[in-house]
A = this chain, B = another copy of it.
Amino acid sequence: MTPEEFRVAGHALIDWIADYRSGLAVRPVAATVAPGEIRAALPAVPPARPEPFADVLADLERIVVPGVTQTQSPSFFGWFPSNAALASVLGDLASSGLGALGITWASAPALTEVEEVVTEWLRELTGLPPGWRGAIHDTASTACLVALLAARERASGGSLHRGGLQAEERPLTVYASPQAHSSVGKATGLAGFGAANLRQVPVDPVTYQMLPDALAAMMAADVADGRRPAAVVVSIGTTGTTAIDPLARIAPIAAAYGAWVHIDAALAGSALLLPERQGMIDGIEGADSLCWNPHKWLGTVLDCSLLYVRDPGELVSVMSTNPSYLRSSVDGEVTQFKDWGIPLGRRFRALKLWFHLRLDGVDAIRARLRRDLANATWLEEAVAATPGWRVLAPVTLQTVCLRHEPSDMVGPDGEILDGEALDEYTLAWVAAVNGSGHAFVTPSKLDGRWMVRVSLGAEGTEREHVEALWKLLQDQVRDHVGIGE
């Protein structure tokens, strides 16, 4: 494709995206395809000759769009917000258009230095201590693995430079709440600690926060047993209920054993842009790393996950490589982000943050975050005030965990709604909500029972959309109970 062909096709695609975003409110929110349906709609071999751009664009509209859950819809309340602010889309386009290659500072100094600048902007905005340094990773899963690898190497005194973890005699242990994200267990496994060395620290039964005293007792018992505590993962905003582990109480306990403290604030980090919410990370001075994802609530298009560390040297000692073909005369003076994570090759992802912050401005971003927090409070109060409905966990941010539990606890077929029956009832009405196409929410288990997470914060979600959702939930429940009557 020549630049002139690109110009014509690019204008058409920009128009398509503008139209697509403008028309989101009337599309079904959930994807409406069956397994294999999209695969079957595509040819088995790619074309030998170029296809017209209009054909590709038509397939995008006809095949692809019905096959995605509309995360940009104002009625998307699933998982966590996954905003793709249009300002950041432009930054990402600029990155692709430039086609810059980040492998060393010298390969693209601007790629490195813009990343240094925007991560410093966000460090300051989110209230992280001066001196902490950040870099962009793809996701919080990767960032968590990187943090646990650094923790492993600290605890083992640099085992990777010797016989590896397999040469260690005293097992290293990792601590997290059972409410921590699935990536914590996964990273523990991948880093070689083993599932048997992941300790699930009990949580408060009401707030779902990690219990510091239980952590202290577990660590002491492990040490007495000849084990070495390597890391504590603190969840600031768990995936299930956005519970906020008490960092200020946890960090000193970890410090007594030299254990790495990693903070997973994948969702909640966006709220740190609000000074009134920075109390969530009180105790940060005792932590080693913090990850949050601008590609969630903040709205910098996927994939953009920030990992901040107190001491980059601890990452570099684990991640550094230095083959001859990557050396330059200025290596001692510059940041080499290749040594801060797993990949060597680096996309110019800083541009999407740069464009996003500059084109939207911090004031508007903050106003939107506050809007979402207020909407969550509104929904929490509406649910709590309505007979038969329960709010199941404290609403700390923008996620409301709820369930319909009719006062007589009798379901559509006259059964008593406890245990399995309540689960079936919940899953049935939430499937009806999502199947309606009018909104999308995520069912999730809490204390072993299914409930519904309403996670607010799509960019276009105004109060009216939350009100419509609340009406939809009640209507579906009413219809559903009605079926059995």
Report the minimum CB–CB distance from A426 to chain B (whole Å).
12
Q: A14-B7, A168-B166, A325-B442 are in contact. Are A35 and B319 (CB under 8 A)?
A: no
Q: Residue A392 at the B interface, CB < 8 A? A: no
> Once the chains are docked, how many angstroms separate the CA of A113 from the CA of B325?
38
Q: Residue A69 at the B interface, CB < 8 A? A: yes
> Once the chains are docked, how many angstroms separate the CA of A141 from the CA of B346?
11
Report the minimum CB–CB distance from A419 to chain B (whole Å).
16
Contact status A51-B361, CB under 8 Å: yes
Which residues from chain B contact A302 at a C-beta distance below 8 Å? Answer: 99, 101, 345-347
Interface size bucket, A side? 35 or more
Query: Which residue from B99, B141, B162 sits with its C-beta under 8 Å from A196?
Result: B162
**A309-328 residues at the B interface, CB under 8 angstroms:** 318-319, 321-326
Which residues from chain B contact A34 at a C-beta distance below 8 Å? Answer: 330
Which residues from chain B contact A378 at a C-beta distance below 8 Å? Answer: none
**A43-88 residues at the B interface, CB under 8 angstroms:** 44-51, 53, 55-56, 60, 63-69, 71-72, 78-79, 82-88
Contact status A141-B51, CB under 8 Å: no
Q: A149-B190, A359-B50 are in contact. Are A164 and B196 (CB under 8 A)?
A: yes
A82 to B, closest residue via Cβ: B101
Q: Residue A229 at the B interface, CB < 8 A? A: no
Given contacts A64-B98, A162-B194, A163-B197, 8 further A-B contacts (CB under 8 A): A1-B86, A3-B86, A14-B93, A42-B113, A56-B359, A141-B342, A190-B318, A239-B323
Contact status A15-B9, CB under 8 Å: no
Contact status A185-B321, CB under 8 Å: yes
> Once the chains are docked, how many angstroms separate the CA of A45 from the CA of B171?
45
> Once the chains are docked, how many angstroms separate the CA of A322 from the CA of B160?
30
Contact status A7-B13, CB under 8 Å: no
Chain A window 84-102, contacts with chain B (Cβ cutoff 8 Å), 1 for yes, 0 for no: 1111111011101111110
Contact status B50-A361, CB under 8 Å: yes
Chain A window 1-21, contacts with chain B (Cβ cutoff 8 Å), 1 for yes, 0 for no: 111111101110111111111
> Once the chains are docked, how many angstroms separate the CA of A17 from the CA of B165?
48
Contact status A67-B113, CB under 8 Å: yes
> Once the chains are docked, how many angstroms separate the CA of A78 from the CA of B42?
37
Q: A141-B343, A301-B99, A342-B145 are in contact. Are A192 and B160 (CB under 8 A)?
A: yes
> Once the chains are docked, how many angstroms separate the CA of A22 from the CA of B94?
15
> Once the chains are docked, how many angstroms separate the CA of A274 from the CA of B44?
19
Max chain B Cβ within 10 angstroms of own Cβ: one of A13, A47, A110, A445: A110
Contact status B182-A172, CB under 8 Å: no
Q: Residue A358 at the B interface, CB < 8 A? A: yes
Contact status B103-A96, CB under 8 Å: no
Q: Residue A357 at the B interface, CB < 8 A? A: yes
Report the minimum CB–CB distance from A272 to chain B (whole Å).
14
> Once the chains are docked, how many angstroms separate the CA of A247 from the CA of B120?
47
Q: Residue A108 at the B interface, CB < 8 A? A: yes
Contact status B56-A362, CB under 8 Å: no
> Once the chains are docked, how many angstroms separate the CA of A195 from the CA of B317?
13
Which residues from chain B contact A11 at a C-beta distance below 8 Å? Answer: 11, 14
Which residues from chain B contact A39 at a C-beta distance below 8 Å? Answer: 113, 116-117
Q: Residue A107 at the B interface, CB < 8 A? A: yes
Contact status A68-B6, CB under 8 Å: no
7 contacts between A and B (CB under 8 A): A1-B85, A1-B360, A35-B105, A67-B110, A149-B190, A162-B196, A185-B321
Max chain B Cβ within 10 angstroms of own Cβ: one of A162, A163, A186: A186
> Once the chains are docked, how many angstroms separate the CA of A38 from the CA of B89?
23
Contact status A192-B171, CB under 8 Å: no
Query: Which residue from B38, B113, B333 sits with its C-beta under 8 Å from A110?
Result: B38
Q: Residue A139 at the B interface, CB < 8 A? A: yes
Q: A10-B90, A358-B56, A359-B56 are in contact. Are A68 and B342 (CB under 8 A)?
A: no
Q: Residue A224 at the B interface, CB < 8 A? A: no
Query: Which residue from B109, B116, B140 sits with its C-beta under 8 Å from A31?
Result: B109
Q: A51-B359, A106-B69, A162-B196 are in contact. Are A82 and B99 (CB under 8 A)?
A: yes
